[in-house]
Structure 1
């Protein structure tokens, strides 16, 4: 593409999407995320970058998702989706950051530099899929993305309001038609169709009931479940709350993140004792479960619990069909120590611990024949290698009668899984299938192991880069003396564990602690926070130890 044809890049920026803020913005695990009014020029430029990325990938389709996920309504964000439905390749995060922050006057020359750097053939066709969440700012931002795609002569296709995982799925299908049909309807046919097929083969019994309450976080996930609900028949009775009406605000006092962090039931949900409730997040890529007991105490079934349930059920099916495959589970340091112990000692499943961030978990899960990964916040999925799929398919066709039956169930379970990214809707169906197969309600699921009490705190510091870590963020390497102090503090508590890590987005240090009682976990976290404050340049008031 000759330089003269790049002039439209500047023209679109100047006339329609000018950079009006000097606030520096960085591409992270979740893409760009900030107040929506600071994002229009950024999203326009991501339209440009998506076209360049598509051409580097020989014209394969790239995705742009407009969402701020579990953040509150005034925020918004944008992230790019690579051809296989995965997160943007990490080496391109710096390119995205550079393009987002240059002045309008330098935009044309920077775009030209990037095209040369990545050796993009600008004569190739380029395809970009665009989706958005339910925020009132999303349509305007989606329009900016479209203009960015058009400015570099790419072809945009708008999907309107979809969950983030549906767009990931559609991008994957567009580039690999063996995975499915690249439409929202194709997604339902694959995921929901597999759920209905598998549930027809599973009798409902034991403590399991087909009624499931769902907190939709006043976002897109609840709206899509409302569409799906009609096709489920007697297999699953969804009772939906927080669908965005009656003045409910997106993610405000509801949704997966609120439930996980506050350890409180969301507003807007009517509860019965022991009734299973699933809470989605605003863009439908996270899910946690909980129930209230007869004293209205909340019992949380988070990402760790979901991971152990799915790994346990898949292990059961693998054993029944005789498949010799390596299944592993991937966690972060935030996973409760009791879950790790249960997985390794009871399930006899290997565990890999990685740095916080879905891209790290996803890549580590690919090392196994079957890799289960979840963050404690409820974001995760299961990945199956081609070897695993072929092995199970062969058993389903050629094995003994009982082996064929179990392999057939596992093939439907694979079909029900959105392997591209964590998906609240797909994960919901995976959980409900595992519980039904075992005749378990939420209480029986909870009884698999007992979580260690834990506490998370954050300490404001002058510069978060003063903190460095290693060993999947479990060991602090700087400032000098901090790790030694943490180890001294931990040694004073039964079942004690603690780590610190710098935030990826703000000048705070996150502190996590576990111990045998809640009082001890609270005290240990406060003592570690105080050590961080003293040794890493704390700002403001010192952390207070609990009385």
Structure 2
């Protein structure tokens, strides 16, 4: 079912500076790169450009562990939803989340040090910092705190040699390396979070390896389904949701979800579970190009069904009424289906956020009708569809915070603002974070409800809420965890995807980008919903939005909206527009593109407007 990780013990004494310099010099910085940048989730480039970074980040990860007093950290080798020729690295901090923002700058400085000598200066600085945090070790490198680095990789052909560079460098520093081999990104984050067990809430069982990951999720999920027997509301597996078809993006997720399939098949055969679907996995590694015309990124951005590369017999007799798509490293998931007329329908991260947050708040209110004990909310970005935001505020009646684009920003905002914080970017990356007040609430409810009937609605809610922190991967978005969570909610409500889709209708949108001479001329406010400079830009955009609102007679419903933001990787400005009609969104985006071209130093020919028929 899963293989045990390989444990490598590092040097008892770190290697000399000369040896370290030779290791770094063996993998010089390529001339094609002026500066490596650390994106939302780490370094990501064409694979041949990365050996330099991977050696240095193996060293860096060991030092990060030392600086935390030996708490275990992780390195995941993946380029997520990017094409197969690309690769990259995500660093997991000891809490299982992404690298602390204050340490990103150290990672970037080390990756970009022009020479081994300059890299050694930075390594020495970080080493002294680690020693300074632990005075008993000062002046004696052999007394550095223990260092433990977990390493995982996706299915790309160049991931094994890149992983070996990380392992070799971390071992040279004296770290212990736990090599998990091929795993999904969220699995690696889960291993790190659980390895530092003192950081886990007591309600979550500690499971540090792959078999434990499957166990904790499968059992929590099955137990959540079983609560459907108690309330008599949902808890029925509809005929067209008995088989869940999963597009694995020809990546690691297909391999790992297949293990869940085997677990569920066995449990169903034994007759000891309740309501488990048959998981039908498609698009395994090697059956098609990674992420090409399939996977969550393609399905969500193109709003098209995935190409199914798996041999045809695997699809015979299966319905397309209940489907999901993962991305290449299985940290994103979107749902989709074809109706009886063959029309494609997408349920993206916005729809997931609405479903999950409404379910959690409904269960909380069964215990606390006034909703005062636990502060719940949803974090969105400016890219969230306006209809979802209005639904959350007006129907779910939950708090909504808009954060800067990027999972590290929405994750931090969910921690900061809420006791139960839900976030899902439109691309399907998201999770639920449970804070200390939530666990206190559960403990108090457990004491108060002890001895009451099992089918008491408050007791059912308590059982469900107790299961969620184990089922949900709180360290990072997890396609497998999120898929099981959504399926359980649909099952408990007796819904299919069409019922879920009908909660609200998305506003039509249009996205584009405009090339400019220098993207730094554009700055935005903190959550990127408005341009700050050039000063004239936001005023002109607002006039365009106001004019579109009048044209579409947007009085009571969602208002037309448009924002622009500089690209993080190229001299271009990204445009997002939404309106009550597709022609309105197209027109608003076209006007924004022309404003950027005129006011922000557009290059090349003027952007061509989007053409659509006015209805």
Instruction: Flag whether TM exceeds 0.5 (same fold).
Output: yes
Partner of residue 265, structure 1: 305
Specify the alignment match of 1:18 in structure 2.
28
Whether the aligned pair in 1 keeps the contact of 2:240 and 2:322 (CA below 8 Å) is: no
Please state if 1:255 is matched with 2:298: no
3-state SS of 2:547 partner:
coil
SS at match of 2:180: strand
Whether the aligned pair in 2 keeps the contact of 1:7 and 1:108 (CA below 8 Å) is no
Query: Which residue of 2 is the match for residue 217 of structure 1?
Result: 249
Judge conservation of contact 2:548–2:584 (CA < 8 Å) in 1: yes
Match of 1:114 among 118, 123, 126: 126
Q: In structure 1, the residue corresponding to 2:388 is in which secondary structure?
A: helix
**Which residue of structure 1 aligns with residue 357 of structure 2?**
311
The runs of 4+ residues in structure 1 deviating greater than 3 Å are 1-4, 116-122, 205-208, 269-274
State the partner residue of 1:230. Answer: 262
Select which of 196, 199, 208 maps to 2:225: 199
Hey, what's the Cα distance between the residues in 1 that align with 2:446 and 2:15?
Answer: 59
- Alignment pair present for 1:378 and 2:428: yes
SS at match of 2:548: coil
Please say if 1:37 is aligned against 2:83.
no
Deviation at 1:28, TM superposition (A): 1.7
Tell me how far 1:207 sits from its aligned partner. 7.3
Query: TM-score scaled by structure 1?
Result: 0.96
Displacement of 1:398 in angstroms is 3.3
Give 3-state SS (helix, strand or coil) of 2:462's partner: helix
Larger radius of gyration: 2
1:244–1:467 Cα change, 3 Å: same
Matched, 1:148 2:175: no
Which residue, 408, 414, 430 being the options, matches 2:469? 414
Distance change (3 Å), C-alpha of 1:337 and 1:18: same
Name which of 460, 464, 471 aligns with 2:515.
460
Task: Give the counterpart of 1:513 among 559, 564, 577.
Answer: 577
1:365 maps to what in 2?
Answer: 414
Say whether residues 1:528 and 2:592 are aligned partners. Answer: yes
Please report how far the alpha carbon of residue 111 of structure 1 lies from its aligned counterpart in structure 2 after TM superposition: 1.7
Distance apart, 1:325 and its partner CA: 1.5
Q: What is aligned with 2:394?
A: 345
Shift of 1:321: 2.5
How many residues align structurally?
545
Deviation per CA, 1:61-104, whole angstroms, max 9, x where unpaired?
11001010000100000121100011111111111111111134
Deviations 1:431-453 (Å, cap 9, x if unpaired)? 00110011100100001111110
Other-structure match for 1:300 = 346
Residues 2 and 465 from structure 1, CA distance in 2 versus in 1: closer, same or farther, beyond 3 angstroms? farther
8 Å contact kept, 1:328–1:349 = yes
After superposition, give the CA deviation of every residue in 1:302-347 in whole Å (9 maximum; x if it has no partner): 0000000000111111122337321111000000000000000001
Identify the residue that residue 380 of structure 2 maps to in structure 1: 331
Check if 1:474 corresponds to 2:520: no
Cα deviation, residue 526, structure 1: 1.3
Deviation at 1:19, TM superposition (A): 2.8
Q: Distance in 2 between matches of 1:80 and 1:97?
A: 12
Question: Following the alignment from structure 2 to structure 1, what is the Cα–Cα distance between the partners of residues 493 and 240?
Answer: 8
1:503 paired to 2:567: yes
1:273 Cα deviation (Å)?
Answer: 6.8
Per the normalisation by structure 2, the TM-score is: 0.85
Shift of 1:3: 10
Tell me how far apart the structure 1 counterparts of residues 296 and 13 of structure 2 sit (CA, whole Å): 48
Q: Matches of 2:360 and 2:14 in 1, distance apart? A: 55
1:243 matches 2:307: no
In 1: Cα distance, 2:214 partner to 2:171 partner: 30
CA distance in 1, matches of 2:14, 2:480: 45
| 1:105 to partner: Cα distance | 3.1
